[in-house]
Amino acid sequence: MIEVRQVRGQTRPVVDCADERLVAYALAVEAIFGELRAIIGQLSGTLILLQARRPRDLGDLPAIARERRDGAVERIAHLDPPDSRLADRGKLHQAVGHIDAAIVEMRRMTRERSTEQIASASARLAAAYRLMQDICDHRIGLTMVDTSNACCTCGKTLA
């Protein structure tokens, strides 16, 4: 809760320590959240392509996803969530685990493709997505769909 006080004749907001910690956390987790959201989206699109045809090589996508994932994991380790958001760190780590498992299945699909591999990779990405949805909180900028650059925003940033 932000309270307002008169300080030297001026009205100023006073943010308590818990709010400052939540703001710092929101700024730190937003980048991690966005990174993992993007990785899930990229891998989901790649999975669709893998189902449609049998490429010999996924290109650099798994390596790029792995680099982005590694950066996110490093930042997760440094998160300092307030008490109200303590469960987020575990959910972020679980989402990373599902992303890792999906990458393994997708790499196997370049050599051989089976219905089980497709189902497994899809289930892993869906599980990661659900964990990310559990963390969503529009009040601190955590949403699974980023509409800030969508045509429906008319160039405006959604609040």
pLDDT tens digit sequence for 72-85:
999 999 999 999 89
Q: Of 92, 106, 93, 102, whose CA–CA distance to 123 is shortest?
A: 102
| % pLDDT > 70, the chain | 74
Against a cut of 0.85, is the pTM above it?
no
Q: Of 121, 95, 125, whose CA–CA distance to 108 is shortest?
A: 121
pLDDT tens digit sequence for 106-134:
888 777 777 888 899 999 999 999 999 99
> How confident is residue 36, by pLDDT bands cut at 50, 70 and 90?
very high
Residue 91 CB neighbour total at 10 angstroms: 16
